[in-house]
Amino acid sequence: MLTIFNERAKKVKSSPLKLVFNRISLVLSFIFSINLISIVYLNQCAKLVNYQYKSCQLREIKDTLERQNNILQVKEENLSNFERIEKLAKVKLGMVMPVNRIVLNLSSSVLQASRVPYFALDKFSKR
């Protein structure tokens, strides 16, 4: 009986230390996991902000490209204006205004019977 009591007494004497040790390690691991979660969370937030900044940059690039596209469109329309084309045709290519025009008045029955030059039909297409 006394032996058991002594053993129990020994156990009681040693358990406060262990208890304290357990409690300390619990607190420490809790603090550690909180820190770990915080670090991971902050890292993700930082990544998110980074991606958002990149997306802003890409949007800027997209706007720039759109702007350049608009400028090119205006340039292209400018180059295709009739005055410039006529000048090029006359001066550089030596083209002249047509003197004669061929007028073909075709009925639908004639169209079925023979091949008709595309240009003639084009001239009579109504806008």
Partner 1 sequence: MRNFNYKIRKRIIFLFYFCVILFLLLFFRLMEIQAVHAYKFKILALKQHLGTIELPAIRGNIFDCHGEPLAKSLELPSIAVNPKEIKDTLKAAKILSLILSENEKNILNKITSQTTFVFIKRKVDYNLAKQIERLNLEGVFLIKESTGKRFYPKGNLASHLIGCTGIDDQGLDGIEGYYDQSLRGTQGKVETEIDNLGIAIPGSFLKISPSLAGNNLVLTIDEEIQYLAERELKSAISLYHAKRGNVIVMDINNGEILALANYPNFYNENYFFTPKENLRNSAISDAFEPGSIFKVFLASAALDSGKVSLDDFFYCGNSINVGGWNIHNANDGLTSAAGKENLANIITYSFNVGTTSVALKIGKETFYKYIKAFGFGDHTGIDLPGETTGSIIPLEEWALSNLATCSFGQGIAVTPVQLIAAISAIANGGKLYRPHIVKAIISPNGETVKEFKPQLIRQVISFKTSLEMAEILKQVVEKGTGKKAQIPGYLVAGKTGTAQKCDRGVYVNNYIASFLGFFPVDEPRFAILVKIEEPQGIIWGGYVAAPVFKSIAQELLWHYGIPPSLPINNLRGKS
Which residues contact partner 1 (rule: CB under 8 A)? Answer: 48-49, 52-53, 55-56, 67-68, 70-71, 73-74, 77-78, 81-84, 86, 98-105, 123-127
SS3 115: coil
Distance CA(59)–CA(56), nearest Å, equals 5
CB half-sphere exposure, 77, CA atoms < 13 A: 6
The least distance separating partner 1 from the CB of residue 124, rounded to whole angstroms, comes to 4
C-alpha dihedral over 58, 60, 63, 65, to 10 degrees? -70
The least distance separating partner 1 from the CB of residue 82, rounded to whole angstroms, comes to 4
Query: Nearer Cβ to partner 1, position 7 or 86?
Result: 86
The least distance separating partner 1 from the CB of residue 57, rounded to whole angstroms, comes to 10
